[in-house]
Amino acid sequence: GQQLNQSPQSMFIQEGEDVSMNCTSSSIFNTWLWYKQDPGEGPVLLIALYKAGELTSNGRLTAQFGITRKDSFLNISASIPSDVGIYFCAGQLYKAAGNKLTFGGGTRVLVKP
Amino acid sequence: DGGITQSPKYLFRKEGQNVTLSCEQNLNHDAMYWYRQDPGQGLRLIYYSQIVNDFQKGDIAEGYSVSREKKESFPLTVTSAQKNPTAFYLCASSRTGALGYTFGSGTRLTVV
C-alpha cells in the first residue's frame, strides 16, 4: 500500500530548540493529520488540517497543509524532554473506502545525549 | 469516559499457536482497524471493518483473521500461518465520514 514520505526519519533535540518535520505524497489528500506516539502506547492526534494552505497551532505545535495538497509540515517550538516520541503524518481522502488513513513512516524524536 | 481498549498489553505465544488480540470500543464508532508496527517502522494496515459482519483485507492480511460480530468489538487472530508475528499491534476506530482515528494503547506480541 501507499505510504507517505516522511522526513527526517529521526532527529535529536536539545531542550529549547525548534524542530521541524515534513511529509510529502505523490497524490493529493483532503485532510492531513499529525499524530504522536509515546513508547509502548498508541498514537494520539495532535493536529488536523482540513484546507489547502491552512496553518494551525496547538500550543507549541504548528502544522501547515501544503497548497498543492500533497505535503504538510509540523514544527515544534522550544522543545522539551516530553516531546520525545514518534510523530506520524497521515493523509485522508473524503469518502475514502473504509475511511482509511495513509500513514508516513514516522519521525523519531530523541534527546541529544 | 469513552475509549478504545486493547488487551492484553503483553502477549507471549509459542510457535505454531494461534492467539487472539482483543479490541473493544465504547465510542459508538462504525469503523474499526488493525495495524501492525515493527520496531522503527510505520503502521501497516492488516484488516478493517466499516460495519458489523463485514470486514476487508488491508495491505498485510496474510496469516491474520478477524471477526466483527458486534459494533463494539473487533478481535484479531494471529494464526500459525503468520511467519513473523512478533510486533506491536494497534487497534483504532472512527466514525463514518469522520476525520482521523482513535487508537488503543496497543498489544505487544512476542513469539517464544
For chain A, which ranges sit under pLDDT 50? none
B1: confidence class by pLDDT, cuts 50, 70, 90: low
Cα–Cα distance measured from residue A16 to residue A27, given in angstroms and rounded to the nearest whole number: 35
Q: Find the Cα–Cα–Cα–Cα dihedral A69, A75, A81, A87, rounded to 10°.
A: 10
* Entry field: residues in chain A: 113
**Strands (E) located in A1-113:** 5-7, 10-13, 19-24, 31-37, 44-49, 55-58, 61-65, 71-76, 85-92, 101-103, 107-111
Q: Do B42 and A90 touch (CB under 8 A)?
A: no
Nearest-CA residue of chain B relative to A42? Answer: B105
- What is the C-alpha radius of gyration for chain A, rounded to an integer number of angstroms? 14
Instruction: Tell me the pLDDT tens digit for each residue of A43-67.
Output: 999 999 999 999 999 999 999 999 9
Taking an 8 Å cut-off on Cβ atoms, the answer to whether A1 and B96 are in contact is no
Nearest CA in chain B to A2: B59
pLDDT single digits (tens) B85-108:
999 999 999 987 777 899 999 999
Q: How far apart are CA A53 and CA B2, in angstroms?
A: 33
Judged by CB atoms closer than 8 Å, whether chains meet at A1 and B99 is answered as no
Per-residue cell: A85: 516520541
